[in-house]
C-alpha cells in the first residue's frame, strides 16, 4: 500500500485555468505538507497543516489554497494558473514531533502552457 | 535564523570509492538533522537523522552521517559507492525546541561513475 499518494501524476493545463491536486496518507500522521520543487530542484515549503493549525508560507500567492477534509487528506487548489506555477508539487506527512521524518508522495508534475 | 548549506551542486565519485556529501547548518539551540534522497522522477525518501546521542548515525542503503557540533556539520558518507547511489541528496535541519518548519538545503547531485 502506498503510504502517501497523489493524483494526478501529471497535469498539463492552460494559463488561467483552475486545477486541484489531491493527496492522501494512510500512515495515521497528524501533519501534512505541500512542497514545490522548481526546475532547479530547489524544494520550498508551501503549507503545513495539522488538526489544529494551517501554516502558510507568506511567499505563496493566495491563488494557492490548501483544503483538508480530514487529517488523512490535504488537497491543493490553484486558481488562475500562471506559467511560473509549472513545477513538481510534493505532498508529505509526518507526526507532529519535530524529531519525526517526513514521508513524501511521488509528486505531481504540473505544466502550464 | 535557521539555514542549511550544501556547498557542492554536484559530486562525482568512481564506483567503489568512498563518497561524502557535505552539509553545514545554522540553528539556535540543539539541531535535528536529516538526510533525504531523491531518485529521478520520484519523491524524496528519508535516509537517516540525528536527534541526540551517538554522533555517527547509520541509515538506509549503507549510508551514514556524522554530526559535528563544533563545525556545525552533518556530512553524509558511504564507504563504497554504487552506481545506483546516483541521485539528488537533500540535507534538512530544524531546531529541536521549536515549531519552525524544516529548513532544506539546495540539494547535491551525486553521480557515481562505473
pLDDT at B14 over 80: yes
Q: First and final CA of chain B: distance in angstroms?
A: 41
Nearest chain A CA: its distance from B94 CA (Å): 7
Report the CATH number that the domain containing residue B36 is assigned in CATH. Answer: 2.60.40.10
Whether residue B107 and residue A4 make contact (CB cut-off 8 A), yes or no, is no
Instruction: Measure in Å the smallest separation between the Cα of A43 and chain B Cα atoms.
Output: 7
Ranges in chain A, pLDDT < 50:
none
**Range of lowest pLDDT (A7-11, A70-74, B55-59, B104-108):** A70-74
Q: Is the pLDDT of residue B9 over 70?
A: yes
User: What is the predicted pLDDT for the residue at A52?
Assistant: 66
pLDDT tens column, B24-37: 999 888 899 999 99
Is residue B83 exposed (0-12), middle (13-18) or buried (19+ Cβ within 10 Å)?
A: exposed
Check residue B99 and give its pLDDT. Answer: 67
The residue in chain A having the minimum alpha-carbon distance to the alpha carbon of residue B90 is A43
Residue of A nearest to B92 (CA): A101
Number of structural domains in chain B? 1
Q: Which three cell numbers stand for residue A86?
A: 509549472
Q: What cell was used for B86?
A: 546516483
Cβ–Cβ gap B42/A101 under 8 Å:
no
Looking at residue B28, its pLDDT comes to: 86
User: Tell me, what's the pLDDT at A71?
Assistant: 87
Kindly report the backbone phi and psi dihedral angles of residue A67, in degrees, each rounded to the nearest multiple of 5, phi listed first. Answer: -135, 130
Inform me whether the C-beta atom of residue A47 falls under 8 Å from chain B C-beta atoms: no
Question: SS3 for A54?
Answer: strand
pLDDT at B103 exceeding the cut of 80: yes
Q: Which domains does chain A have, with CATH numbers?
A: 4-112 (2.60.40.10)
Chain B: residue whose CA lies nearest to A91? B43
Task: Report the distance separating Cα A61 and Cα A59, nearest Å.
Answer: 6
Taking all residues of chain B, what is their mean pLDDT, rounded to a whole number?
A: 94
Per the structure, the complete domain to which residue B33 belongs is given by 3-113
- Say if B90 is an interface residue toward chain A (CB within 8 Å): yes
Cα–Cα distance measured from residue B25 to residue B11, given in angstroms and rounded to the nearest whole number: 19
For residue range B68-102, list pLDDT tens digits in order: 999 999 999 999 999 999 999 999 998 877 666 88
Q: Which residues lie across from B88 on neighbouring strands?
A: B38, B109
Tell the residue number behind the cell numbers 509528486, with chain if given.
A107
Amino acid at each position: 500500500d502506498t503510504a502517501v499518494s497523489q493524483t494526478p501524476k501529471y497535469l498539463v493545463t492552460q494559463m488561467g485555468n483552475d486545477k486541484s491536486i489531491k493527496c492522501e496518507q494512510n500512515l495515521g500522521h497528524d501533519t501534512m505538507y505541500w512542497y514545490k520543487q522548481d526546475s532547479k530542484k530547489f524544494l520550498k515549503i508551501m503549507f503545513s497543516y495539522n488538526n489544529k493549525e494551517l501554516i502558510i508560507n507568506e511567499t505563496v500567492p493566495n491563488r494557492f489554497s490548501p483544503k483538508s477534509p480530514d487529517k488523512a487528506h490535504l488537497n491543493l487548489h490553484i486558481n488562475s494558473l500562471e506559467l511560473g506555477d509549472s513545477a513538481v508539487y510534493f505532498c508529505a506527512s509526518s507526526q507532529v514531533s519535530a524529531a519525526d521524518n517526513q514521508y513524501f508522495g511521488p509528486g505531481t508534475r504540473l505544466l502550464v502552457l | 535564523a535557521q539555514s542549511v548549506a550544501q556547498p557542492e551542486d554536484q559530486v562525482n565519485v568512481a564506483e567503489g570509492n568512498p563518497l561524502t556529501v557535505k552539509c553545514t547548518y545554522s540553528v539556535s539551540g540543539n539541531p535535528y538533522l536529516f538526510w533525504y534522497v531523491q531518485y529521478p522522477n520520484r519523491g524524496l525518501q528519508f535516509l537517516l537523522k540525528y536527534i541526540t546521542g551517538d554522533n555517527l548515525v547509520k541509515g538506509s542503503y549503507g549510508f551514514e552521517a556524522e554530526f559535528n557540533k563544533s563545525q556545525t556539520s552533518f556530512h553524509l558518507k558511504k564507504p563504497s559507492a554504487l552506481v545506483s547511489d546516483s541521485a539528488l541528496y537533500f540535507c534538512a535541519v530544524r531546531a529541536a525546541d521549536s515549531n519552525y518548519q524544516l529548513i532544506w538545503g539546495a540539494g547535491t547531485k551525486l553521480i557515481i561513475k562505473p
